[in-house]
Amino acid sequence: MSAPSVLSASLAPGRHEPLGATVRDGGVNFSVFSAHATRVEVCLYDEAGTNELARHALHGPVDGVWTGFLPGARAGQRYGLRAHGPHAPREGHRFNAAKLLLDPYAREIVGEFRNLPEDHGYPFGHPDGPAALDERDNGATALKARVAAPLAGPGPRASAPRHAPQDVVLYEVHVKGFSMRHPEIPQALRGSYAALAHPVSIAHFKRLGVTTLSLLPVQFAVDEPHLLGTGLRNYWGYNTLGFFAPDPRLASAAVRHDPTAVVAEFRAMVQTLHEAGLEVVLDVVYNHTPEGNEWGPTLSLRGLDQKSYYRLQADDPSRMENLTACGNTVNVEHPRVAQLVLDSLRFWVGEMGVDGFRFDLAPVLGRTAAGHDPQAAFYTALRQDPLLSQVHLIAEPWDAGPDGYQLGRFPGRFMEWNDKFRDGARGFWLGHGPDGKAVTRGEFARRFGASSDVFHPTGPCGDPGQRSPLASINFLAVHDGYTLNDLVSYGRKHNEANGEDNRDGRDGELCGNFGVEGPTDDLAIRDARERARRGMLATLLLSQGTPMLYSGDEFGNGQGGNNNAYCQDNEIGWLDWPNADDALIAFTAELSRLRRAHPLLRHAEWFAVQGCSPETGSAGSTGSPQRTSALRWFHPDGHEMREHDWNDDRQFALSALLSDPHERLLLIVNPGATPTRIALPAAGEGTSPWRLLIDSSGELAPATLSDHALTAPARSLLLCIAAPLFS
């Protein structure tokens, strides 16, 4: 049907579901939620997206939903929304029909956000500030949605691998940063979805033994206003505006300007990774939007129905509640807002094929007027949904609001980023914790054991009977903070390149330079750093819980001490493949292989801890005594750890005996700067003598141990095995 007939067609009442723009029955169905609007219009634009061709009023509302069916319209049509209603900031309303709004359900987005004055609902410089009304029309320059054609085929979900929970090894990675400097990936593909699924990339993932890629945000994002014009951009992507659209900036150059082709490239990436046995988890940002606080632009949700979509301050609804430190907070407690989030998640699983989600600032999603509620309706909906209940659900268990630290308090279905493991493991090998004091053996044992003080059913924060050791996602470094290489090379942050006078980023992040700030030719310092780094990697991959490796840490990638490289879309933020340490990659791969080979290192249930527990300081068990797998802790002198041994801040070496009917493993840890003699417990009747499998320091080669003791090298972690003589 020709364009003129579409433009002159009258809009019939449409279907309420699904929300968004849907091609059907020879036309397009539009459905939009706004509980407080008095009129909602869909505006059609030309191919360039600059000229408004027609404006149609939607029918409704019915239960807050406005609908319309436009016969003759088809995929590819550019459109935006205008919402009429009260401009009453003191009541929480900021309707302004002069502002073209992006459909929250847009699956294809065209245009560029430039933060022009007319993108704001108030005139810059007006004495009334955000309470004033700017009636300039921004339709010519605003972002537009483009009607998407139905996706063809069964999609990549059909080929998704299903790794057993205890086998999962996560790998946090930025789509662009992974490949931009990779010499073996074609230049035309570098930095793209296609590059992440290139055979060279897959070969690296398989060599490392990771099972699940955790991608930094890939949903359509825009840059913060303060970055525009600086030459910097929001590289990490934690500023999502389009919850149903993959970001075109992460697509290969050949397809970047065609939203349909971007979707196809993303789906092909997931399909290829699935065929290689790799899962794909997305980092998603449903806690805030780029519309910021009351001074921010009017792009989508604010203009459609601010009072429904955002949390407003109870004593002053003209101001946004800021539980995210990003200016606003999405009101997921509202049923229709929860629906938006759930519909988006279903789209990424059902249509795009992904295998789970890591929820940024996850407590926001369970916030009620009384604070964070582990039984919030949103969490219940996730766990009951036929599709979403099958995928990984990972919480970043803190936000910026009151009582925002919720580690261990999410429903049992969730895994959680465990910063206690991060700080405990770092501090043990660096020789000091966040408070400057020594990290004790008791603290190390807790973190090695999957933080049973946090996640165990009988722990003070546990969800009785529902938490597994695998709920603890253990990590040493992630995108936000130092890389592993930098945390052993710097004693303070170096964020000068961010243009904020080094004020941004986390102050006091746990790190240590071993005597010299930054790179050094001092061989003793370099050796100490290398031993500490390898000891941490061994701790990460041999501990109980679910390990997560930060991309680049396996080969010594650094960022020059920048612990907040969110805006560094350059060689600071990209992985430094030209200087990759292949020996460190091989070491990391061997640790991963050992984890796969020995079920005792990836236990899905809590061990029966015999003897003195680091949690209680007394004889007891953090697991069922009927279980056949056990964990025992030993002092270097050979006796089982006693109450006073756990908190002794003069000695730090210890060993752990893990056993079941099939094998016995001995983990020996010496984080100190000098070698330490360690008495070996008896290998056990009917077993072979202890055999050393790996020494993180590299001093000792794998061999059978003939004595009842050994000298653990300085800053080393050793793993030994005693296997049954007869199976």
DSSP string, 558-586: --TT-S-GGG-TTTTTS--GGG--HHHHH
Q: Which tens digits make up the pLDDT trace of 553-573?
A: 999 999 999 999 999 999 999
* Residue 584, CA distances (Å) to 309, 530, 555, 588, 696 in order: 47, 9, 5, 6, 10
Q: Edge-to-edge strand order for the sheet containing 65-71?
A: 20-24, 27-33, 65-71, 59-62
**pLDDT at 157 (0 to 100):** 85
| Domain end point (choices 146, 161, 180) | 146
| Domain end point (choices 131, 146, 161) | 146
* C-alpha span between 515 and 508 (Å, rounded): 17
330 backbone φψ class: left, alpha, beta (φ>0; ψ -120 to 50): beta
Position 410 in a domain? no
Cβ atoms of 630 and 659 within 8 Å: the answer is yes
**pLDDT at 629 (0 to 100):** 84
Cβ atoms of 311 and 329 within 8 Å: the answer is yes
**pLDDT at 726 (0 to 100):** 59
Is 637 an annotated catalytic residue? Answer: no
**pLDDT at 215 (0 to 100):** 98
**pLDDT at 434 (0 to 100):** 86
| Domain end point (choices 122, 146, 170) | 146
Position 686 in a domain? yes
Position 536 in a domain? no
The CATH number covering residue 712 comes to 2.60.40.1180
- Say which residues have a Cβ less than 8 Å from residue 245's Cβ, sequence separation at least 6: 106, 107, 108, 109, 219, 220, 259, 263
Position 77 in a domain? yes
Position 427 in a domain? no
Is 396 an annotated catalytic residue? Answer: yes
Burial 502-516 (b: 16+ CB within 10 A, else e): bebbeeebbbbbbee
Q: Is 7 exposed, middle or buried (0-12, 13-18, 19+ CB in 10 A)?
A: middle
**pLDDT at 456 (0 to 100):** 85
DSSP structure class, residue 353: -
Residue of 396, 423, 554, 615 with catalytic role: 396
Q: How many CB atoms lie within 10 A of CB 557?
A: 23
Residue of 172, 224, 360, 416 with catalytic role: 360
Task: Give the three-class secondary structure for 540.
Answer: helix
Q: How many domains does the chain have?
A: 2
**pLDDT at 662 (0 to 100):** 87
Cβ atoms of 551 and 212 within 8 Å: the answer is no
**pLDDT at 203 (0 to 100):** 98
* Residue 594, CA distances (Å) to 529, 598, 701, 720 in order: 23, 6, 15, 11
**pLDDT at 609 (0 to 100):** 72
Give the tokens for residue 196.
């992440």
**pLDDT at 152 (0 to 100):** 85
Sites in the chain below the pLDDT cut of 50:
1-2, 4, 459-464, 616-621, 623-626
Position 262 in a domain? no
- Write out the residue range of the structural domain in which residue 668 sits: 607-722
**pLDDT at 10 (0 to 100):** 80
**pLDDT at 615 (0 to 100):** 57
**pLDDT at 610 (0 to 100):** 64
The CATH number covering residue 18 comes to 2.60.40.10
Task: Find tokens 């330490």 and name the residue.
Answer: 676
Position 343 in a domain? no
Position 100 in a domain? yes
